[in-house]
Structure 1
Amino acid sequence: MISNASSQSELIHSNPSSQSMVYRVPGFDPDEIDYIAGQTFRRYTLSPTSNVRRTGNGTCIVWFRNDLRVLDNQALFKAWVSSDSVLPVYCVDPRLFGATYYFGLPKTGALRAQFLVECLADLRKNLQKYGLDLLIRHGKPEEVLPSLAESFGAHTIYAHNETCSEELRIEARLLKALQKLSLPSTPVMFARILQSVESKCMVRSCIKTPASLGPPPKVEDWGSIPSLDQFELQHQKASRPRLSICRGRKCIVEQSARVLLEEGGPRRLEHKWSQDPKLFESWREGKTGYPLIDANMKELSATGFMSNRGRQIVCSFLVRDMGIDWRMGAEWFETCLLDYDPCSNYGNWTYGAGVGNDPREDRYFSIPKQAQVYDPDGEYVAYWLPELRRLPKDKQHFPGFSYLKPVVPLKYGNPTKQGGQSTAAPSRKHSKFASGHGKPHRG
């Protein structure tokens, strides 16, 4: 049996020196943050005198997926209540380290792989505090979990819900594999009482963690946290994956009246997105000739992070100004982002490209305007583009011949003149790019 459990502080920066930038949470010092974290931990932990008691027996498996935490973990809590032995499992799925569907980019870049390794180490440490451990197995969940369920006689596998296509296909394969096993019948579980109560409430309260989650079943080898060598990422530069354009899906549609009647209407048409590898590489590596774009892309490659405003700006530039297939940008974000989530990533890219369920085909971010509003003193671009630091502040966003030549002209925006020369490429009156629909592979 498999059971699915339902499942910011603002960053500001100080004036950077030439070597470093300090990010702080506004209004809090480090000691106060630690104190608040400790108070939160105590609020989310059950006291020894709590009325909640374990009512089940046998072994339950908790399948950790994207929820690599102990606090407020509904799957872990339900497994503890409905058993007398909990086996936490994480499957290192090789498919997560393969290539993206359309353009063959790495699904998980080196920075995100390192972040995963650190998260697994932290999860194991936190589970050990509660008398458990983390069983790590390399392989596909639909193969690993049924084998573990059979070996340990587990009657239930708990996991949090996922909503995207790849994850749902894995769940379907897992359910099919479990149906072939002869497992112990499910005992009467406290989860049934929870379900009747939770069905009346749209938002659940936070789950409190028991003082001890043990004991775990006897395991000879809990497995080691994978290294980057095992991911075969040690020699790969995060910003330079090979681009397999031949894998891109192209569709040529005859523009005729028959399409309107027989093929779903104009919303079904797929426009000819550009998949120019050189243009895409200039965007990916932060060499477009526009400092605000280049600074954001270099931050992404160096840290695995980009602000929400930056994500919107670079998306708009790639799609509107460069005319590049939005799926190439979405897959590159999947490669790099530490906080990658398929729903938010692909949802935001379809929205930015004007092809989602709530399309805005005129959504455009003017690079000069965004630079003047969000980085008026040029501190951000000067930090990530050291070659601009020697320029006056009013020229750091508009360096003219002191910087790379823009790879494409801007679709909109009146370039400001500095020193008698244009600060941006000439704007074109009409863009050759017409936003249209590409089919996202994810969710």
Structure 2
Amino acid sequence: MSEKTILVWFRNDLRIRDNEILLEAIRKADKVLPVYCFDPFYFKTTADGSPKTGALRARFLLESVADLRKNLQALGGELIIRTGNPAEVLPQLAQQYGVSEVYHHREVAYEETNISEEVETALWNLKLNLKHFIGHTLYHKEDLPFPIKDIPDSFAVFKKKVERDSNVRPCIATPEKIITPEITDAGQMPTLKDLGLDEPADDARIRIKFTGGETAGLARLQEYFADNEQVTPTKGRNGSTVDRSSKLGPWISLGCISMREVYWAVVKHEHDKNAHNTGMLRLELLWRDYFRFMFKKHGKQYFAAEAQPETTSSEQQQLFEKWKTGSTGIPFIDASMHKLNATGYISNFSRQMVAGYLVRDLELDWKKGAAYFEEKLIDYSPASNWGNWAFVAGLGHDPRDNKYFNLAKQAGELETNSEFINTWAPAEVVA
């Protein structure tokens, strides 16, 4: 009897813990072939001349893939790394290694689902099946108290019903051993230069260094709990609340840690420490679920919604450039954009504020802001990014449901991240 080999196609699930496709493949097959493909589609230059994926985000991705390879090797396995169109790379590897089936986690945004469909068609031509799993949400689709088509468009209603009538599944067990076929060429990790990008300079004002990978993500999760034990909420110098966000977004977005792992760690922390200051983290997880399910329900509508004409005047372009570079003259807006450009990360509140300023004050096309965030944010996730921008622009499916986004504070009340004001050097921005 011939051996069964299953190819595991990693995308935004760069972990070995709580990873259903990896564990299921190990259980069902004699050998497992883990693969990650750097798709040139995500590293192309957009119509306005900017990279679709910026250097900071790309570096975090490279670190995450490298960490996944290291963790697979520790279990006796290996990660094949290729650069190219997955619809060409995966069928070739499937034929080379006698693969019986391909596993992957289902995506919801249209660019990602289009790529999946191309891969599925190419594999089907070889009479191979692409099996879809659901592994990016906190609540499993099958455990929701309503079908996808009937999911409430209001976040408040969604939150109430899900928390009342659904349960979060336990985490999937972590594999103890992986057996791979004899791999003749595992492939080298590409460099940023290989991907068409320059190495970004680390800004001296950075307080937290974001390093990609499951190992760093799990360490950050524990740091978050330690920080919450030691620090009580304080006020900034202008009376604003100092940022106490979890900063787990980058690792969650690439699937270096799963939302279920974060959730159950929160539950354990609350039980062991009798702590009740992790509510914002629970809320963050629910918002991520909400936008993913909204994308599943409404599809491409988030991208197709129009707030302004596609054409941009020279005056509008100048305003957009000032917004991008933090030259608006509004301290909090400018500081937030300086920080985004320097680190690839700003708090959720800052994102809501700079997005609201672009849409309401500058009256510019929200899609340009969303595309800029896609380039810069190291925790970019299609559903969360485009869903949030559409929401701020008043184009979400319940734009009145704004009570979780307090956009009404006066600029004078906001913490201005003073280390990112008046000391900004444009040369430090890596495009």
TM-score, normalised relative to structure 2: 0.61
Give 3-state SS (helix, strand or coil) of 1:127's partner. Answer: helix
Deviations 1:89-128 (A, max 9, x none): 000100000134x645321001001111111111111111
Letter in 1 for 2:196: E
Q: Answer 1 or 2: which has greater helix percent.
A: 2
The 3 A distance-change label for structure 1 pair 138 and 273 is closer
Letter in 2 for 1:385: I
In the alignment, is the contact (CA less than 8 A) between 1:316 and 1:365 conserved in 2?
Answer: no
Letter in 2 for 1:225: M
How far does residue 209 in structure 1 lie from its aligned partner after superposition?
A: 1.3
Q: Which residue matches 1:429?
A: none
Letter in 1 for 2:10: F
* Alignment match of 1:224 (pick from 188, 195, 205): 188
1:341 matched to 2:361: no
Give 3-state SS (helix, strand or coil) of 1:136's partner. Answer: strand
Q: Which residue matches 1:140?
A: 85
1:384 matched to 2:384: no
* Alignment match of 1:294 (pick from 334, 338, 343): 334
Stretches of structure 1 that go unaligned for 5 or more consecutive residues are 1-55, 192-197, 239-266, 389-443
The 3 A distance-change label for structure 1 pair 324 and 236 is farther
In the alignment, is the contact (CA less than 8 A) between 2:308 and 2:365 conserved in 1?
Answer: no
Structure with the greater relative contact order (CA < 8 A, sep ≥ 6): 1 or 2? 2
Letter in 2 for 1:94: P
* Alignment match of 1:105 (pick from 38, 46, 50): 50
Deviates more, 1:146-155 or 1:360-369: 360-369
How far does residue 368 in structure 1 lie from its aligned partner after superposition?
A: 6.3
Q: Which residue matches 1:59?
A: 5
How far does residue 381 in structure 1 lie from its aligned partner after superposition?
A: 2.9
Whole-angstrom distance in 2 between the partners of 1:207 and 1:149: 26
Q: Which residue matches 1:178?
A: 123
TM-score, normalised relative to structure 1: 0.60
Q: Which residue matches 2:353?
A: 313
How far does residue 204 in structure 1 lie from its aligned partner after superposition?
A: 3.1
1:209 matched to 2:250: no
Whole-angstrom distance in 2 between the partners of 1:332 and 1:217: 42
The 3 A distance-change label for structure 1 pair 132 and 315 is same
* Alignment match of 1:126 (pick from 58, 67, 71): 71
1:80 matched to 2:29: no
Stretches of structure 2 that go unaligned for 5 or more consecutive residues are 134-139, 145-167, 203-303, 425-431
Whole-angstrom distance in 2 between the partners of 1:158 and 1:362: 38
Give 3-state SS (helix, strand or coil) of 2:100's partner. Answer: strand
Give 3-state SS (helix, strand or coil) of 1:154's partner. Answer: coil
In the alignment, is the contact (CA less than 8 A) between 2:16 and 2:175 conserved in 1?
Answer: no
1:234 matched to 2:270: no
Whole-angstrom distance in 1 between the partners of 2:119 and 2:379: 26
The 3 A distance-change label for structure 1 pair 182 and 319 is closer
Q: Which residue matches 1:369?
A: 410
How far does residue 167 in structure 1 lie from its aligned partner after superposition?
A: 1.0
Q: Which residue matches 2:255?
A: none
The 3 A distance-change label for structure 1 pair 151 and 320 is same
How far does residue 210 in structure 1 lie from its aligned partner after superposition?
A: 2.2
How far does residue 211 in structure 1 lie from its aligned partner after superposition?
A: 1.4
Whole-angstrom distance in 2 between the partners of 1:219 and 1:269: 49
Letter in 2 for 1:136: I
Whole-angstrom distance in 2 between the partners of 1:158 and 1:151: 17
Deviations 1:123-162 (A, max 9, x none): 1111111111110011111111111111111111111110
Whole-angstrom distance in 1 between the partners of 2:355 and 2:348: 11
Deviations 1:162-208 (A, max 9, x none): 0010111111111111121155x99xx9x9xxxxxx99755432111
Identity value in percent: 43
Letter in 2 for 1:369: Q
How far does residue 340 in structure 1 lie from its aligned partner after superposition?
A: 0.3
In the alignment, is the contact (CA less than 8 A) between 1:63 and 1:158 conserved in 2?
Answer: yes
Q: Which residue matches 2:35?
A: 89
- How many pairs align? 289
Q: Which residue matches 1:426?
A: none
Q: Which residue matches 1:150?
A: 95
Bigger Rg, which one: 1
Whole-angstrom distance in 2 between the partners of 1:286 and 1:67: 33
Whole-angstrom distance in 1 between the partners of 2:372 and 2:141: 39
The 3 A distance-change label for structure 1 pair 273 and 157 is closer
